[in-house]
């Protein structure tokens, strides 16, 4: 859906930014003064678990088609980019179908990093459907930590929180863990029958068409349970925070200048998992320093880099206007 009134595509040059993810993909358009002209949303575009990721990009292209003739540069932040050469080549080919304008493809977490720090060194911790940290040193060295995928990674992500919740509830059902209010709350939340709890839970999972996204959506339920004081929910979020903090600490150690104080960690965050105040507070406590507020959301990072590639003047006024303008789109 378009997250605003029908945009005017006839008002001069624009740049395009795209932020892909496991659960959603955003394409936004910005003008030279930093105003966001439009924002479009489609489904997730992770090539490792979304077979229709090319279709997602094509649908976004169709919806932004009126802006393409006046596009001066574009940056696409795509999940999985730079990880498997054949997949990255396919992503680049799909991106180039948008037009002949200069176009750069980045990993989606790299684009989120650009939004958070706009050219400054630091560590960006992303916890959405998946999890990963991206860091850059003052010398421009880039480091990534995590992002190994749901089979043996994505620790602390919304998906991991949901999967861990289902795993613990399954152990409560068969007696390996003592009963907890979390199990009752989950069955109520999912509308599952209590006649045969094992069958109900297995059937729920087996009927998912996109289990990774559905498990990730349970993170919001877990946060709500934690806010009521549920001990199991709090433990899950604490374990998630431990994993996420480890991402930041490893990334910072890799980029910190020799002789610098390693305890003065400069980090920021992005991703839907951090809608949980409890999770963010616990990650902060484990890292030991408070995060820097992101200068821009991940989609803003793609737009910022595209504006730079287009040769536009990008200053504090531009950044402020873009941030405020993007905030007016409810999907961002």
2 or 298, which is more confident? 298
Q: Could you give the CA distance from residue 39 to residue 202 in angstroms, rounded to a whole number?
A: 38
Same domain, 302 and 289: no
119 or 111, which is more confident? 111
The model's confidence at residue 139, banded by pLDDT at 50, 70 and 90, is confident
Q: Does 312 score more than 50 pLDDT? A: yes
What confidence tens digit (pLDDT) does each residue in 217-261 have? 999 999 999 999 999 999 999 999 999 999 999 999 999 877 666
Residue 199 burial by Cβ neighbours in a 10 Å radius (0-12, 13-18, 19+): exposed
Same domain, 35 and 102: yes
Domain count, the chain: 2
* Residue 2 located in a structural domain: no
For residue 91, give both structure tokens: 């992503």
Range in 57-66, 81-90, 171-180, 254-263 with the lowest mean pLDDT: 254-263
Same domain, 155 and 253: yes
State how far the alpha carbon of 219 is from the alpha carbons of 134, 150, 199, 274, in Å: 23, 15, 22, 10
Q: Does 166 score more than 70 pLDDT? A: yes
Same domain, 25 and 158: no
The model's confidence at residue 3, banded by pLDDT at 50, 70 and 90, is very low
**Cβ atoms of 88 and 81 closer than 8 Å:** yes
Average pLDDT in the chain: 92
- Listed in order, strand segments (DSSP E) in 229-301 are 267-270
Same domain, 164 and 146: yes
pLDDT at 257: 73
Same domain, 137 and 285: yes
**Cβ atoms of 12 and 31 closer than 8 Å:** yes
For residue 24, give both structure tokens: 């959603």
Q: Could you give the CA distance from residue 37 to residue 282 in angstroms, rounded to a whole number?
A: 37
Tell me how many helices (H) and strands (E) the chain has: 11, 9
Other C-beta atoms within 10 Å of 148: how many?
14
Same domain, 32 and 102: yes
In sequence order, what are the beta bridge partners of 18? Answer: 27, 76
* Residue 280 located in a structural domain: yes
Q: Does 118 score more than 60 pLDDT? A: yes
The side-by-side arrangement of strands in the sheet containing 14-19 is 36-43, 24-30, 14-19, 71-78, 103-107
State how far the alpha carbon of 187 is from the alpha carbons of 166, 168, 183, 190, 197, in Å: 10, 13, 6, 5, 9
Residue 123 burial by Cβ neighbours in a 10 Å radius (0-12, 13-18, 19+): buried
Write out the residue range of the structural domain in which residue 135 sits: 120-294
Q: Does 113 score more than 60 pLDDT? A: yes
The model's confidence at residue 199, banded by pLDDT at 50, 70 and 90, is very high
Same domain, 212 and 262: yes
Determine what percent of the chain is predicted with pLDDT higher than 90. 82
Same domain, 94 and 110: yes
For residue 93, give both structure tokens: 């080919």
What confidence tens digit (pLDDT) does each residue in 9-44 have? 557 899 999 999 888 999 999 999 999 999 999 999
* Residue 206 located in a structural domain: yes
Q: Could you give the CA distance from residue 266 to residue 136 in angstroms, rounded to a whole number?
A: 11
CATH code at position 160: 3.30.420.40
pLDDT at 260: 65
* Residue 101 located in a structural domain: yes
Same domain, 142 and 255: yes
Q: Could you give the CA distance from residue 143 to residue 28 in angstroms, rounded to a whole number?
A: 27
Same domain, 272 and 204: yes
* Residue 5 located in a structural domain: no
pLDDT at 5: 44
Contact partners, residue 244, CB within 8 Å, separation at least 6: 125, 127, 131, 155, 156, 279, 283
Q: Could you give the CA distance from residue 60 to residue 143 in angstroms, rounded to a whole number?
A: 30
Same domain, 157 and 283: yes
* Residue 318 located in a structural domain: yes
* Residue 4 located in a structural domain: no
* Residue 9 located in a structural domain: no
Query: Mean of the pLDDT values across residues 263-269?
Result: 89
């Amino acid at each position: 859906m378009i997250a605003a009134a029908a945009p005017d595509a006839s008002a001069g040059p624009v740049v395009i930014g795209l932020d892909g993810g496991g659960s959603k993909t955003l394409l936004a358009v910005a003008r030279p003064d930093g105003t966001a002209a439009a924002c479009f949303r489609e489904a997730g575009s992770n090539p490792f678990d979304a077979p229709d990721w090319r279709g997602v990009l094509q649908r976004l292209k169709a919806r932004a088609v009126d802006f393409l003739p006046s596009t001066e540069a574009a940056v696409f932040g795509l999940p999985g980019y730079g990880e498997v050469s054949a997949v990255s080549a396919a992503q680049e080919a799909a991106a180039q179908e948008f037009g002949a304008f200069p176009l750069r493809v980045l990993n989606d977490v790299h684009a989120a990093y650009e939004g958070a720090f706009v050219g400054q060194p630091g560590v960006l911790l992303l916890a959405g459907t998946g999890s990963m940290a991206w860091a850059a040193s003052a010398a421009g060295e880039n480091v990534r930590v995590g992002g190994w995928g749901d089979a043996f990674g994505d620790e602390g992500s919304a998906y991991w929180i949901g999967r861990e919740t289902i795993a613990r509830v399954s152990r409560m059902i068969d007696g390996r863990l003592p009963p907890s209010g979390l199990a009752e709350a989950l069955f109520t939340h999912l509308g599952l029958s209590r006649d045969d709890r094992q069958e109900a839970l297995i059937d729920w999972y087996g009927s998912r068409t996109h289990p990774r996204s559905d498990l990730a959506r349970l993170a919001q339920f877990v946060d709500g349970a934690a806010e009521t004081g549920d001990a199991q929910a709090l433990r899950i979020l604490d374990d998630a925070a431990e994993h996420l903090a480890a991402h930041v600490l490893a990334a910072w150690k890799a980029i910190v200048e020799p002789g610098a104080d390693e305890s003065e960690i400069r980090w920021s965050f992005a991703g839907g998992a951090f809608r949980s105040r409890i999770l963010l507070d616990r990650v902060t406590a484990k890292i030991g320093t408070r995060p820097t507020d992101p200068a821009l959301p991940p989609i803003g990072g793609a737009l910022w880099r595209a504006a730079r590639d287009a040769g536009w003047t990008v200053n504090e006024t531009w950044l402020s206007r873009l941030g405020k303008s993007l905030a007016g789109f409810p999907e961002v």
